[in-house]
Structures are given as structure tokens and as C-alpha cells.
Structure 1
Amino acid sequence: PHTEYMNVKQMEFFRSKLTQLKTEILNSAGETTEHLREDTVIVPDPADRATIEEEHALELRTRDRERKLLKKIEQSIARIDSNDYGYCDETGEPIGVGRLLARPTATLSLEAQERRELKQKMFGD
């Protein structure tokens, strides 16, 4: 029943899960900064330098993805604060605990997400 869905206990569980995820990302970002700083020594061998530059590029792409995820996490926490968390942006229907456990930043029900992906595939949107 809807009275059981997204009760206080569930909201606190997801707030904790999202906060933990946020902390992990921020710690990881700090390690990247430190790692990039350490690797700025001059490497005379072009092959070694290319390898280091490729590693840096990969690490920066990962950080960019994490930065976007961090924004979604913060938006999800704000949705918890406003009691909107767990409900589909398009339909207002419950997203479902199972989906939120798999993807705590989800803002669309599985059906709405599938419709959006199908539309994007059809129209290249």
C-alpha cells in the first residue's frame, strides 16, 4: 500500500545510502587530485609520458562522471527533504524500492525510463 511506501524509515535509509555514496565520491576525488599532483614529475621517455597522460585522461573522465553523479545525489537528498523522493517525475507514481536500491538517484519509474529511452532511440533525442 502507498502508506507503507517511502515511510520515514525508508527515507532515512536512502538518505544514509546517498550520503555514504557522496562521501565515497568526494574521497575518491581527493585521491585523484593527489595522484595527479604526484605524477607531474617530468618523464623523459615519450612512451612513459604517453602512458601517464592516458591514465590521467581516463581518471579525469571518471571524475567527470562522478561529478555528474554527485549532482544527482544532491538532488535526490533534496527530494528526500521535500518528501518527493521515490516518485516518478513524469507520472507521480512510486518508482519502487527495488529500483531505488539498484539506482538510488532514479527519478523515473522503470516504465517511464523505458519510454524515454525508446523515444531517444527513435528520434535520436
Structure 2
Amino acid sequence: MPTKTAPKKPAATKKTAAKSKAPAKVKSKAPAKSKAAAGTKSPASARSKAPAKRKTQAVTSANSQFKNFEPYQPKRGEEYMSDAQLEHFKHILMKWKSELMQEVDRTVTHMKDEAANFPDPADRATQEEEFSLELRTRDRERKLIKKIDSTIERLEQEDYGFCDACGIEIGIKRLEARPTATLCIDCKTLAEIKERQELG
């Protein structure tokens, strides 16, 4: 009689829970701008960024025009404001006046040559600003020319080189630094202090 063998139970299959994992987040990068695209600008913006700016001539300082001269070396025992000294300062003043007049004429000619009707408002504003600066400088120089003329008249009347306030000698060094000076350094300093106090 055959022996009965118990039927083998099928191996329990492990249930793998099908866990649905969320997909990994992928950072979406913005597409890189091509260098060519980044470098290209619209014609309108290119015109506004790079205006056709015309540089006017350098504005020269009115107070530095007369400095090309040989400093005067007074002789021992020489009288203050001698004929030689008066001639020295007359030469400085005449040369200074001549250079200032040349600058004024050069500015007028330059502005005529540089005048242009720029379509770009930025260019027009730049040109107007440069012209305005030059005109203010030349206006100061015209006033200075009148002051030089007045100083030359005083020099010819031998009323040059003495302080209008106290009557002492202004000094050769100070007059070479500022040929139109009418006050000594002490009186000029005092006048500036009073002016500042009055202005508050």
C-alpha cells in the first residue's frame, strides 16, 4: 500500500509592495543665452549707448597763460618798481592779454566749426554743455582782459605795485603770481575773511 506524502505547499511568494517612488526632481535650467545673442543689441539701443560725442578743445586756464616768463631778479640796492621792473611787468601783462585774446578768437572759430545739428538728444545736450562751459570760461577771460587793460594804465602812470588799502609794497613775487593784484597778501587775506563773515 503506497504511503501518502503530504503535498508540498507552494513557497509563499513575497509580495513586493509596488511602491511607486516619486520621480527625482529635475531642475529645469533656463536655456543658456548664446554669446552671439547676448552680444547683439538693437540698432536703436546701440545708437543711444554710443553717441557720436565730439570733444571740444581743452579749456585752458586763464590764470596759467602768463606763466611763461623769466622771474625778475632785482639787483642789489635796486629801487622797488624801478623802470626795469615796470617794463618787466608790462611785458607780462601785454603777453598775457595777447594770449587771452587769441583764446577768445580760437573759441569762436572752434564753435563755428564744431556746430552740428545732432539728431540724438543726448548728443545735442553734450554739445550744448561743452559750448556753455567754453562760453563761461571765455566770458571770464574777457573780464580779465579789461582788468589787465586797467592794470596797464596804472603801470604807465607809475601807480603800480602798491597796496590800495595800506599803501605798502605788494612785492615782486606776488605780482608775478598775480600781475593784476591791487592788495598786499595781508590786506587780501583780511578782505577774504570779512567777505566770508558777511556771507555768513
| Shorter-chain TM-score range | over 0.9
Aligned counterparts of 1:22 and 1:121: Cα–Cα separation in 2: 31
Q: Does 1:53 align with 2:53?
A: no
Structure 1 unaligned spans of 5+: none
* 1:14-93 map, 5 Å: 14-93=89-168
Q: Deviations over 1:17-74 (max 9, x none)?
A: 0000000000000011101112222111111111110110000110011112111111
Structure 2 unaligned spans of 5+: 1-75
Q: Which amino acid aligns with 1:58?
A: L
Quick check: which one's helix share is greater? 1
Hey, which bits of structure 1, 4+ residues long, moved more than 4 A? none
Aligned equivalent of 2:179? 104
Q: 2:86 aligns with which of 8, 11, 14?
A: 11
Aligned-CA RMSD value = 1.7
Aligned equivalent of 2:42? none
Identity, % of aligned positions: 46
Aligned counterparts of 1:15 and 1:24: Cα–Cα separation in 2: 14
Deviates more, 1:33-42 or 1:101-110: 33-42
Q: Deviations over 1:72-101 (max 9, x none)?
A: 111110110110110111111110001001
Work out which structure has the larger RCO, using CA pairs closer than 8 Å and 6 or more positions apart in sequence.
1
Q: Which amino acid aligns with 1:66?
A: E
Aligned counterparts of 2:135 and 2:165: Cα–Cα separation in 1: 33
Deviates more, 1:7-16 or 1:37-46: 37-46
Q: How many residues align?
A: 125
